[in-house]
Amino acid sequence: MDQELISKKELLELTGISYGQLYRWKRKNLIPEEWFVRKSTFTGQETFFPKRHILARIDKIKNMKDDLSLDELADVFSPAADGLAMPERELLERNIVSKQALELFGGTFAPAPVLPFQRILYVYMLDKLLQAGEINLDEGSMMLQTIHQHEAKFENKNWTLLFIRKMGVSSFLMIGAADEFAIDAGSKIVTRLEVASAIEELKLKLN
């Protein structure tokens, strides 16, 4: 499924930011390198961006830059969080995740006295979809098994989780940030979770 792209010129006009701001945010790692897509056009090479991702990111930067420095924002947007960890008890006390999500998580991942950030993220994603009514418990277990099987490949990367259903049969896809994908017409995307957004939300809750 091709992502809708927006040209650099359209982006600057639509958001009101300058060329300098855009590339300063890129240098500060607020905007991922892979979002700068070079394409040939009739006027030569032009830069495009995945429209939905870049507009959401710029909106967040604008809203948060008065409260956080650019370096702090870069940490929030980074998929890596090696220093963040928390015991399950504290996650429950702070209402970051539910007991139900933690118990389901424990059925797939090995128990640990303190969960590293990446594992907290999986519980948070699970709880988010359960609380929204997007998935049931069996589908939640399937989601965790999919992540468990492929987590090494996607560690410290931005990716998207897709939940697809066809004729009552459910499945999950993990897709890299720059990867295009296609599904057959008989399949329905039930929900789509951008892991980058989940990471940003969770880091703000944990800090």
Domain layout of the chain by residue ranges: 5-77, 85-206
Strand ranges for the chain from DSSP E: 5-7, 37-41, 44-50, 85-87, 114-116, 159-166, 169-176, 188-194
Quote the pTM value: 0.74
Please give the CATH topology (third level) of the domain spanning 5-77. Answer: Multidrug-efflux Transporter Regulator; Chain: A; Domain 2 (1.10.1660)
Q: Which residues of the chain have pLDDT under 50?
A: 1
pLDDT of residue 125: 97
Nearest to 96 by CA among 174, 192, 197, 198: 198
pLDDT of residue 1: 45
Token readout for 81 is 């969080």
pLDDT of residue 149: 95
Query: DSSP code of 2?
Result: P
pLDDT of residue 196: 84
Nearest to 108 by CA among 81, 163, 146: 146
Q: How far is CA 124 from CA 15, 184, 204, in A?
A: 31, 30, 13
Distance of CA 95 to the CA centre of its chain: 21
pLDDT of residue 177: 67
Token pair 């963040």: residue: 84
Contact 49, 5 (CB under 8 A): yes
pLDDT digits (tens, 9 = 90+) for 101-140: 999 999 999 888 899 999 999 999 999 999 999 999 999 9
Q: Return the exposure string of 88-105: e unless at least 16 CB atoms fall within 10 Å of the residue's CB, then b.
A: beebeeeebbbeebbebb
